[in-house]
């Protein structure tokens, strides 16, 4: 999250508390000449589950888009749902400086959304994948069944460089897991970038009759 943090700080100069999720936000009310929102900011809207040994804070991260030379728009960075685990350091007190993050991809969200009761799943990430640091840090998120349709969310971070091995476990109730599944389902299309399509569509598609044909021609492309 370094880059994002730096970016945010450079814009807001905030000593933003690490706990909060940082996401770029644009006002739709004061668009700048180039036609896009100009005033940007950071939005804090985490859903946090406070438990005895750790807190699990959840927030979405939208994809970013870039313009191609041809003027087309393409997803530049895919979106994700960020899980942040912070250790407890007393009653209802958590050390957010020591938090560890795990960003869920669309497909990982798919397996959580469809996770059947009493089933479990596990994801493995290497934050430095495909870089010279590959393998130095290994993260795994395991979701295993808890009584009454709840789940244990356990994040393990092994850093071979710092010789550290951290482990966070947060028991998630069925109600809390349902909040996750419902909000993940809501966010999935946004994370995929499909919201651009839908949010643009109102009114737009009748600007002129485009030659987008139904299946016959769409499929007749060779």
Rounded to the nearest whole angstrom, what is the least distance from the CB of residue 53 to a second copy in the complex?
19
Rounded to the nearest whole angstrom, what is the least distance from the CB of residue 79 to a second copy in the complex?
9
Rounded to the nearest whole angstrom, what is the least distance from the CB of residue 173 to a second copy in the complex?
8
Contact 166, 154 (CB under 8 A): no
Rounded to the nearest whole angstrom, what is the least distance from the CB of residue 143 to a second copy in the complex?
12
Count CB neighbours of 107 within 10 A.
Answer: 8
Which are the contacts of 102, defined by CB distance < 8 A and separation ≥ 6? 82, 83, 85, 123, 125, 139, 141, 155
Q: How far is CA 164 from CA 96, 126, 146, 154, 197, in A?
A: 18, 15, 27, 16, 44
H or E stretch covering 5: helix 2-12
- Choose between 18 and 88: whose C-beta lies nearer to a second copy: 18
Nearest Cα residue to 123 out of 107, 146, 145: 107
- Choose between 53 and 77: whose C-beta lies nearer to a second copy: 77
Rounded to the nearest whole angstrom, what is the least distance from the CB of residue 187 to a second copy in the complex?
7
C-alpha 60/C-alpha 80 separation (Å) is 6
């Amino acid at each position: 999250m370094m880059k994002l943090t730096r970016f945010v700080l450079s814009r807001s100069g905030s000593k933003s508390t690490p706990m909060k999720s940082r996401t770029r936000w644009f006002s739709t009310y004061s668009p700048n000449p180039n036609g896009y929102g100009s005033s940007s900011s950071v939005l804090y809207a985490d859903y946090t589950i406070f438990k005895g040994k750790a807190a699990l804070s959840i927030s979405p991260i939208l994809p970013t888009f870039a313009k191609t030379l041809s003027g087309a728009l393409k997803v530049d960075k895919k979106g994700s749902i960020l899980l942040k685990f912070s250790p407890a350091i007393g009653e209802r007190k958590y050390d957010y400086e020591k938090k560890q993050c795990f960003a869920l991809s669309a497909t990982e969200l798919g397996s959580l959304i469809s996770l059947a009761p009493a089933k479990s799943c596990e994801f493995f990430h290497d934050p430095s994948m495909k870089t010279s640091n590959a393998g130095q840090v290994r993260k795994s998120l395991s979701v295993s069944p808890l009584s009454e349709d709840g789940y244990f969310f356990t994040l393990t971070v092994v850093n071979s460089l710092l010789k550290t091995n951290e482990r966070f476990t947060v028991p998630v109730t069925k109600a809390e897991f349902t909040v996750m599944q419902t909000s993940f389902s809501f966010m999935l299309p946004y994370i995929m970038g499909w919201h651009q399509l839908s949010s643009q569509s109102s009114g737009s598609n009748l600007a002129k009759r485009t030659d987008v044909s139904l299946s016959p021609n769409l499929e007749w492309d060779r």
